[in-house]
Amino acid sequence: MEKQIFDFANAVINASGYYLVFVNMEGIYTYSNNHFDEVFIAPGESVIGKPSTYAVYEEDHFLMMEAVHSCMANPGISKQVSLRKPSLKGLRTTKWELTCTEDATGAPNGIIGIGHDISDYYQNELKLKAILDSTVDSNILIGADFTILNFNRAANEAAVSIANKSLEIKQDIRQYIHPSVLDLFTEKFEEALNGAIVKSERAIQISTGIEIWFEFLYYPVYNVKNERVGVALNTTNIDSRKKAELKILDQLERFKKIAYLQSHELRAPLANIMGVVNVLNLLLPKIESSDTIELLNGLIENAKKMDSIVQQIVQRTHQ
């Protein structure tokens, strides 16, 4: 490739902080721009004439060669790859776009690479992943086409427990959803993809046959242009809390039934007793025995207390 072309590209790319290199078909560097040299090459030295693996972390050599071979098999089609590179200030993580170029006859004549530094982004991503992996909540980032973009450790453990298989990047999330709730999942997913934050609770049967309650939170994910690009699914195990709530509700329902039966079974005989009490009230002035009057007054008072208690039970039953 002509030097003037590289000089022009060098001026443009240096201004943007990008690296530019060219490697011939023998895998030897024939060009590198100033920004690449300043970051990765010691003063007074040059990468020109050195093999393509130079200035690439040894453990990433295979990854780089795999990307190069893919480019050579598909000239004109770029291949993206992340490579770690030893720099003058320590190991850097870089993102590259490699393309196999062709000469005038259409024959491949080398690989051009344009790269940039993603070390800060990569470190932040590692920190975020460490934080997410330390939580007990399951978190999955899903693209608009239902493909899995990212997930944490808890999400993978949940997938193994429920679907009996591990999560994989770029796989369709729907293959991990039980058929009985797939329609519901799709409905909630679409709502979140349209901008809503959706919350739901339901019991899921895991591979052992046990049902566990989970809370699902779907919320939209935006890119830097504020465009919705997918959905984040947060899942929390609420089995203990949910079963405690259900137990309380069940006990409350039983209490209401008991209260209802007791109040209605007591009301009929108590109504008869109150009728007799009313008659006794009329007879009290005609009774001369003080002992009999005392007994009747006690009977009347207790009957009124029972009637008051039954009325309270009935009122609380209907609350």
Six-digit token pair at 26? Answer: 């023998």
Per-residue pLDDT, 154: 86
pLDDT in tens, 170-182: 899 999 887 878 8
Q: Which are the contacts of 80, defined by CB distance < 8 A and separation ≥ 6?
A: 67, 95, 96, 97, 98
Confidence at residue 76, expressed as pLDDT on a 0 to 100 scale: 81
Residues 136-237: name the CATH superfamily.
PAS domain (3.30.450.20)
Question: pLDDT band for position 163 (50/70/90)?
Answer: confident
Non-local CB neighbours of 281 within 8 Å, separated by 6+ positions: 300
Of 170, 31, 54, nearest to 112 by C-alpha is 31
pLDDT in tens, 103-143: 888 888 999 999 988 877 655 555 556 555 666 688 899 99
Q: In the CATH scheme, what is the homologous superfamily, with its name and number, of domain 3-122?
A: PAS domain (3.30.450.20)
Between these two residues, 90 and 217, which has the higher pLDDT value?
217
Of 32, 69, 31, 27, give the one whose Cα is nearest residue 51.
Answer: 27
- In this structure, what token pair is assigned to residue 64? 């780089």
Place of tokens 């009977």: 299
pTM for this entry: 0.46
Q: Give me the pLDDT at residue 190, please.
A: 94
Residues in CB range of 194: below 8 A, 6 or more apart: 220, 228
In this predicted structure, the answer to whether residue 243 has a pLDDT above a threshold of 60 is yes
Predicted confidence (pLDDT) at residue 266 exceeds the cutoff of 70: no
What's phi and psi for 107, nearest 5 deg? -85, 140
Q: How do beta strands 90-102 and 79-87 pair?
A: antiparallel
Write out pLDDT tens, residues 49-75: 999 888 888 899 999 999 999 988 888
Span of 86-90, 153-157, 236-240, 274-278 with lowest mean pLDDT: 274-278
- For residue range 179-206, list pLDDT tens digits in order: 878 899 999 999 999 999 999 888 877 6
State the pLDDT at residue 213. 85
Q: What is the mean pLDDT of the chain?
A: 80
- % of the chain at pLDDT higher than 70: 81
Burial status of residue 147 (CB atoms within 10 A of its CB: 0-12, 13-18, 19 or more): middle
Confidence at 39, pLDDT banded by 50, 70, 90: confident
